């Protein structure tokens, strides 16, 4: 297995883009590819997409996207370690669904909290809105639950990388 990470996506059928159209894949650091993946998943301007985070080549990422398409998953994470991949096959699609169900405003809040590590009061100041509004959007978007899933996915990813040596 290659020691690089490829993050690849494709537009879903219901967008205006041709089905299966893919933006250029992104490469990321092997240790923690999830900030780059979350940036893509939480982009409020992005049309609905399916994403793959794969330890491997662009061809591996395309194969993972095909598997995600057959399963109708919004997110798939593949490490190349069978035990870790079995657990990630259960966790990643749930996170993908949680993030996909967010409104654009909720995505901005989730991005500030999950990617940038900001607290609710900091998000409110940055977005120019009241703190209770952030709190309500945070709860309705299930950002806490998304953070818990992300933590489990990251831990599984790290454990799989430790096994590679």
pLDDT-derived band of residue 27, with 50, 70 and 90 as boundaries? low
Q: At what angle do helices 143-163 and 82-100 cross, to 10 degrees?
A: 160
pLDDT-derived band of residue 164, with 50, 70 and 90 as boundaries? confident
pLDDT tens per residue across span 142-157: 999 999 999 999 999 9
Separation of alpha carbons 34 and 55, rounded Å: 12
Q: How far is CA 43 from the centre of its chain?
A: 11
Instruction: Spell out the alpha helix ranges (H) of the chain.
Output: 34-41, 58-71, 82-100, 104-110, 120-127, 131-140, 143-163
pLDDT tens per residue across span 38-95: 988 899 888 888 999 999 988 999 999 999 999 999 999 999 999 999 999 999 999 9
Pair of tokens at residue 105: 């405003």
Report whether 9 contacts 49 (CB < 8 A): yes
Tell if the pTM clears 0.85, that is, is over it. Answer: yes
Domain map of the chain by residue range?
5-163
Query: What is the distance between the terminal CA atoms of the chain, rounded to a whole angstrom?
Result: 12
């Amino acid at each position: 297995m290659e020691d690089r990470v490829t993050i690849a996506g494709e537009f879903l059928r219901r967008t205006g883009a041709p089905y299966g159209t893919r933006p250029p894949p992104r490469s990321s650091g092997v240790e923690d590819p999830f900030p780059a993946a979350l940036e893509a998943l939480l982009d409020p301007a992005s049309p609905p997409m399916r994403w793959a985070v794969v330890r491997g080549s662009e061809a591996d990422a395309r194969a993972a996207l095909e598997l995600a398409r057959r399963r109708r998953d919004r997110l798939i994470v593949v490490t190349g370690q069978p035990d870790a991949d079995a657990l990630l096959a259960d966790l990643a699609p749930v996170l993908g669904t949680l993030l996909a169900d967010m409104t654009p405003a909720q995505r901005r809040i989730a991005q500030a909290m999950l990617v940038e590590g900001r607290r609710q009061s900091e998000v409110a100041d940055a977005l120019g809105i009241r703190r209770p509004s952030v709190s309500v959007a945070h709860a309705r978007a299930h950002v806490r639950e998304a953070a818990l899933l992300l933590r489990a996915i990251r831990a599984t990813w790290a454990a799989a990388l430790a096994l590679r040596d």
